[in-house]
A and B are shown apart, each in its own frame.
Chain A
Amino acid sequence: MSGQATIPRKRLLKSLTDFSSLFILFGVLAFFEVVTTLQGNDYLTMSNMSVMINQACFLTIIGISQALAILTGGLNLAIGSVMAFTTVMWGRMLVGANSDVHYIVPMLIIVGAGMLIGLVNGLLITKLKMPPFIATFATMYACRGLAWLALGKRVIYNLNSDFRWFGIGIVTRVGGFTLTVPMIITLVLLVATAFMLTRTNFGRRIYFMGANPVAAKFSGIPTDRIIIWVYVISTGIAAFAGLLYGARLNSFEPGMAVNAPFEAITVALIGGIAMSGGFGNIWGVLCGSIIVAAIYNGMNILSVPSELQTLVMGAMIIFAVAFNQLLIKWNMELRNELDERIAPDTRVHGVEGKA
């Protein structure tokens, strides 16, 4: 066993590669810290970090929505349109004057409507066997069209201030750091999703199905039902994101969040969720959205023109995915090597041949 001595180092490497997107995050933060400091600006201050994280919250939520679909091997392009359609349809109930219903009622209606659209997505994918790309593209188009039909060029604004608390409320200030309500909501949603994915039967089945849909079917997993549920939840979360978005901007409009599905794809992929499904950690989505927020924030501080920001993001996606792929491969090899060396004597058989 000549390699014995390197085991601790390999173990360290392995745990580092478990979160490939962390590397990117540190790299991004370090880069902007250095460049902004050279320019005499502040970047990594408490207050700026809270701004960054607050920006990342919305991205994280739509990222979770997208990551769920991607984990099953699919995609949800309907995210932004659902946000617009559901809030435009029932958002009037959230306008300040309409205080006869509690604001929780329209919120529930909106999320429920989102889940129904998710059901349509799920049925198109499972029963009509449409590729998720096409199915959710169809609902994306339809929802956006319906939103425009419902409201035209008008805007729903001046929302209920109690409701707006969800989007702009502040919990506490610690030092320069402002802890906002969206941060708490995002954290709760992340913990809940992480719990669902790693600690429940449903989550296990999602991963298994994403990793090998054929084996999932052979193993008696109700694959259709799981796909339908995933799209129901994913689209429901999207509608919820629409509420938060509106609460922050104090308005709902049919043209909102056109790029949301793509931003969601971006943060999910940078966060290490594999496009092929069945691989990725939901906390990576948080990491991915902080990376994206940090880049936008840093570029704003450096006053990089907004047109160029898309360029950086585009390059970032390609780079991050290539990087993540490499790291995942490395991680798996390290893992296997470590497994082999953990306890050679506990093996029941000797070396078994490769057939």
Chain B
Amino acid sequence: MSTAKGNGQGRLCLLDLPNSVFAFLLVFILASVLAPHFFSPGNLSTLLLQASILIILSIAMSLVVISGGIDLSMGGVLSMCGVIMALCLRSGMHVLAAILVGVVSGAMFGLLNGLCVTCMKVPPFIATFGSMGIAQSIANTLSGKRTIYWEGGSHSAILDFLGGNVIRVQFGIEASTIFYVPFLVVLTAVVVGIVIFLFKRTVLGAYTYAIGENEEIARLCGIATRTWTVLLYIISGMLASLAALLVLIRTNSMQPTSGEWLEFQAVVAAVLGGNALEGGKGSLYGAIFGALTLYVVRSALSLKGIDTSATMVVIGGVLVVGMMLNELAARHEKKLLGKM
């Protein structure tokens, strides 16, 4: 037993990194070699900005997926919260108040999802699938299916500030040589950092894994599984509303359809990141790299001038290959463990 410790850990250490890191590195290198201007400061900055919304969503999705659930309402909630925040801004409400209203509505929807799953015992897929429709419907109704704009002013000054860049370094004349870090990316990093910090440094992470692995065991260990499940859906709803804030700032307006299909992309990112849909396995980092992988593929293809339709096909393929990699890695890991 004591000998197993020494050699076993060393070998498994590399495998402990989520597979999506390797997938990410692979597509990143390929893209850098094959696509012109991919590996340029400007493009990388844009990539990060575009990916940030999905990164937040896929983190939220991972939390729910690790606990054995799924949150399909994320996209709808994003649209709904975005519309609510935009309407608040249009009515002249202060930004911070508007954000608060948005986040609270996201949390309320999460609460609704959580209660459906825990108290009504509706399977998560169905509960959140249903509330996806409800949230999207609220977004459409409130906005009248139109994009919402608001007049800038002192009450929304912070938004203009957040829409700007933290750093902007120009290496040359062309746009691709401009390296910039928008505030939005910093904001994403902060949000992601906080979630990961809470996940690692409070009981949140441990309980999420325990509930996903086996809810009965978690309950026997004295964990209030229902409360925690509800909490996870609430967090997911709140993160969706923060993602809505990012959309709002980036486009300086809000379309009621902004969230469409994002929940599925978040599932794909989470799954590519090694989070098993049956729960109990996976990591938040994995999902981040899953989301980045998707955006690297997208960016590289568009730089190559390839049609967005072809991008859909390629992403379907990336998903299949990614899943194959995960399956292979799982088998390999099992073999290593068997030998110990």
Contact = CB atoms under 8 A, between A and B. Distances in A.
Interface of A: 124, 128-131, 133-135, 137-142, 144-149, 254, 262, 265, 269, 275-276, 305, 307-318, 321-322, 325
Interface of B: 116, 120-123, 125-127, 129-138, 140-141, 144-145, 264, 267-268, 271, 277, 307-317, 319-320, 323-324, 327
Given A142-B316, A149-B307, A149-B310, A318 B127 contact: yes
Contacts of A142: 312-313, 316-317
Contact of B323 (A128, A141, A311, A315): A128
10 tightest Cβ-Cβ pairs between the two chains A and B? A314-B133, A145-B312, A148-B309, A142-B316, A311-B137, A307-B140, A310-B137, A145-B313, A314-B134, A318-B130
A130 B277 CA distance: 10
B29 to A, nearest CB: 23
9 contacts: A254-B309, A308-B141, A310-B136, A310-B137, A313-B133, A316-B130, A318-B120, A318-B127, A322-B120
A126 to B, nearest CB: 13
Contact of B126 (A269, A311, A313): A269
B271 A134 contact: yes
Contact of B133 (A134, A137, A146, A317): A317
Contacts of A317: 126, 129-130, 133
B138 A311 contact: yes
B312 A144 contact: yes
Contact of B319 (A137, A148, A321): A137
Given A265-B129, A318-B126, A311 B134 contact: yes
A214 B271 CA distance: 24
B148 to A, nearest CB: 14
Contacts of B145: 307
Contacts of B308: 148
Nearest to B132: A314
B66 to A, nearest CB: 15
Contact of B316 (A141, A147, A276, A325): A141
Given A149-B313, A307-B137, A128 B327 contact: yes
Given A131-B277, A141-B315, A149-B307, A314 B137 contact: yes
Contacts of B264: 137
A310 B140 contact: yes
Contacts of B136: 310
A176 B137 CA distance: 34
B43 to A, nearest CB: 23
Given A124-B320, A134-B319, A310-B136, A141 B312 contact: yes
Given A142-B317, A310-B137, A314-B130, A134 B312 contact: no
A318 B122 contact: yes
A316 B314 CA distance: 36
B133 A311 contact: yes
Nearest to A310: B137
A15 B313 CA distance: 48
A316 B127 CA distance: 10
Nearest to A325: B121
A93 B308 CA distance: 27
Given A128-B327, A137-B264, A322 B122 contact: yes
Contacts of A147: 309
Nearest to A148: B309
A121 to B, nearest CB: 11
A224 to B, nearest CB: 16
Contact of B137 (A148, A275, A308, A321): A308
Contacts of B132: 314
A141 B313 contact: yes
B266 to A, nearest CB: 12
A322 B126 CA distance: 10
B116 A141 contact: no
Contacts of B126: 269, 275, 317-318, 321
A138 B320 contact: yes
